Amino acid sequence: MKSVRRLLAPLAALTALVLLAGTPAAADPGPPPNSMASLGDSITRGFNACGWYSDCTSRSFSTGGDSAVNSQYLRIRATNAAINGRNHNDARTGAKSADMYGQAGTAVSQGVDYVTMLIGANDACTSTEAAMTPVTTYRANIDAALARLKAGLPTARVQVISVPDIHRLWAVGKDSGSARSAWSLFGICQSMLANPTSTAQADVDRRNRVRQRVVDYNAQLAQACAAYGPNCDFDDNAVFGYPFTLGQLSTWDYFHPNTSGQQVLASVSYAAGFGW
């Protein structure tokens, strides 16, 4: 028995080493960044968070400086003063996934240590269901942007944030006359929000297909971030899964987050991030 144990001991040790070698190490977030940039669309620009149909970058959940929002930037600054004033909002109102490659180039030119990317609402929120960005095209756009970041900022951390659940937008606003009026007047997200009170099967099915498109986008974000490597963190659908309320939306369009909505977005996305 002793000889058997002597033979088994090295075998067990070898097996343990093989198992450890095959287990990926947990991503090391590194120290808090000294600079950051945000990529995205009107949500990241803080659109309608403090002015009538205008950007309000000070209230951006990512790089804003308004204490009422307590953005990711301010949370990082609380632990690393070196980031002060080095917060770049490279997002553009109306942007889609196709615009991420250009925004990534801007972030590279700024030489930042940390990048957030939230994109996809405008790829799904279109004038018609048929106009939505195909999933394969969306993925190709995301891959191109991430490749540009990786090549130009090889040590930077990147947080990829899930697209919010626009079906919930319909659910929380459909019974509000003000919301329905705004959606109709401004032609907001008609792929999802057309005929908001209809219970016809065709409208129910359309809404479910649009929601599924967002689910598919988020699946592609998760895969693209995993392929990027340990410097990329996907929020594991934290933003998509957050049960936002009508009171967290701008009363000018009932689509974009108001100050309260931006604050929640900052809190949820940061908690699902690198943990600085």
Give the model's pLDDT for residue 29.
85
Range with the poorest average pLDDT among 20-34, 86-100, 120-134: 20-34
pLDDT digits (tens, 9 = 90+) for 153-168: 999 999 999 999 999 9
**Are the CB atoms for 224 and 158 separated by under 8 Å?**
no
Buried b or exposed e, range 132-160, using 16+ CB within 10 angstroms? bbebeebbebbbebbebbbeebeebbbbb
Please give the pLDDT value at position 27.
56
pLDDT over 60 at 13, yes or no: no
20-61: per-residue pLDDT in tens?
Answer: 333 333 456 889 999 999 999 999 999 999 989 999 999 999
- The Cβ of residue 257 has, within 10 Å, a number of other Cβ atoms equal to 26
Q: Above pLDDT 70, what percent of the chain? A: 90
For the sheet containing 36-40, what is the strand order?
A: 87-89, 36-40, 114-118, 157-161, 232-234
Cβ–Cβ < 8 Å for 158, 228:
yes
Largest CA distance in the chain: 84
Cα 220 from Cα 205, distance rounded (Å): 22
State pTM to two decimals: 0.89
pLDDT of res. 21: 37
CA-to-CA distance for 74 and 252, rounded, in angstroms?
27
SS3 40: strand
